[in-house]
Amino acid sequence: MQGNSLDAVETWQCVGDSFDKFQKIICSFFDWNCDREEVRPDFHWQMNLGVLKSHDSRNAPRILMARLTCSHGFFQIQTDPTHEVVIIMPVRGTLRLERNHATQTISPCSAIIYQPRTETRIYHLADGSTCEAYIIKLSFDWVQRFLYDVLQLPVEQDLQLGPVIDMSTPKARMLSRLISTLCSDAFTFQSRHLSPPLQQRLAETFSHLLLESIPHRCSERMQAPKAAPMPNYLRVARDFMQREVRRNPSMAEVAKAANISVRTLETSFRSHMDVTPHAYFRTIRLQLAHQALNDVRDTRSIAEVAANHGFPHAGRFAQYYANQFGEAPSDTRRKGPAK
């Protein structure tokens, strides 16, 4: 492997002739567990990998891009739930997806897209003596932030993706070509030389095309005709909610801060943001509660965290929380902050 750790280098080329080395490196990059149905003494493989990073102070990876080839098939197992978005497009050979007691076969004219929230197995099946696939992994924090910028709405963690993309539609064909370009050897080897703003712009372009090409939870909102420009009083109301969220003001207070009636507040949120002000405000409070439960320094009980963020009813808080983040509050507290 050329390069050091993921935090220090932007491009890698990994080559090996043993499954043990393959397993160690692939698992570290993609958080997979890998195994084989048939043990063979020879297992030749190569992976070229590039990264697009965000244009911010953390310089965190937003998109991992890889072309993976190997001489024999294998299967990957994802047991730990995450919300990262994973795309695998076979080039040679086929994929078999096993998830939620269902099996699907994916040929080179299709691709897999999923968030591994439940146990997932993907079998990479060789065509003759080779299997090859393009792999892209998007940070969910990036996807969530990008969708918020596009929709101006909080976004739930479970996007309800795919899990199979038909690459025969016009938009999907464009997506397929872009995936092929991003995962090509020429691009992955040069990605380290791109300026941070250009890396960010490429990540935005890919994310936008991806989320317009496939069905997901926010598809209808993205494709809906744009309403008239958001009135200034609605921006004032939204900013007031975000600024005063810890005080948990009433909708009457929010409307007064924006110098409008509660009825106008309700109507404007529905017409311009496709959500009620109560639901919008609840999502902001849930996000703060989520941050608190992820903070190892916060020793409050879950009930205290819920009450302090405007959810006095623990059962109702747990239901809202699971709908928003795809897991129970106790699961978040047990797992701790993401690495």
pTM > 0.85 = no
Domain ranges of the chain: 11-222, 232-335
Percent of the chain scoring above 70 in pLDDT: 91
Output the DSSP codes for 304-337. HHHHHTT---HHHHHHHHHHHHSS-HHHHHHH-S
What's the pLDDT tens digit per position in 40-68? 778 899 988 888 876 554 455 678 899 99
Model pLDDT, residue 56: 53
Q: How confident is the model at residue 334 (pLDDT cuts 50, 70, 90)?
A: confident
Residue 253 CA: distances (Å) to CA of 234, 262, 312:
14, 9, 20
Task: Give me the mean pLDDT over the 212-218 stretch.
Answer: 84
Q: How confident is the model at residue 252 (pLDDT cuts 50, 70, 90)?
A: very high
- Asked if residues 268 and 229 have their Cβ atoms less than 8 Å apart, the reply is no
Superfamily of 232-335 according to CATH: Homeodomain-like (1.10.10.60)
Percent of the chain scoring above 90 in pLDDT: 24
- Asked if residues 84 and 136 have their Cβ atoms less than 8 Å apart, the reply is no
DSSP code, position 100? T
- For 109, left (φ over 0), alpha (ψ -120 to 50), or beta? alpha
Q: For 11-222, which CATH class?
A: mainly beta
The whole-angstrom separation of Cα 68 and Cα 131 is: 8
What's the pLDDT tens digit per position in 22-31? 888 888 778 7
Contacts 24+ apart (CB under 8 A), 100-106: 104/163, 104/164, 106/164
Same fold for the pair 11-222 and 232-335:
no
Model pLDDT, residue 215: 85
